[in-house]
Amino acid sequence: MRYKLRMFGIPVDGETNEFCDNEAVVHNSSKPESTLKKKHNAISYYRAREAQAAGIIQIVKEPTETNPADGLTKCMPGHG
């Protein structure tokens, strides 16, 4: 996303905040000492850890109470 914005001529300064409501994702991508057991997860988290260490992104926890997209990912009660 940062690359596309720069290609459109929009300057992007500083870190990009990545909001996540999953505490395990925040922990595994922020702390290099956490051990990842699955290879496909390790590859993804390696890229996120690298970007965070370089100051490109900052992964932060977004609580459910303030997350507007959370309602779109949860099952809604049906009519009955």
Percent of the chain with pLDDT over 90: 5
Alpha-carbon gap, residue 25 to 28, rounded angstroms? 5
Q: Provide the number of structural domains found in the chain.
A: 1
Nearest partner of 25 among 45, 43, 46, 40, judged by Cα: 45
Q: Say if 38 falls within a structural domain.
A: yes
Q: Say if 34 falls within a structural domain.
A: yes
Kindly tell me if the per-residue pLDDT of 80 is higher than 60: no
Percent of the chain with pLDDT over 70: 89
Kindly tell me if the per-residue pLDDT of 8 is higher than 90: yes
53 lies in which domain range?
14-64
Mean pLDDT, rounded, for 2-15: 88
Kindly tell me if the per-residue pLDDT of 67 is higher than 60: yes
Q: Say if 20 falls within a structural domain.
A: yes
Quickly count: other Cβ atoms within 10 Å of residue 26's Cβ.
17
Mean pLDDT, rounded, for 42-53: 80
Q: Which amino acid is at 48?
A: A
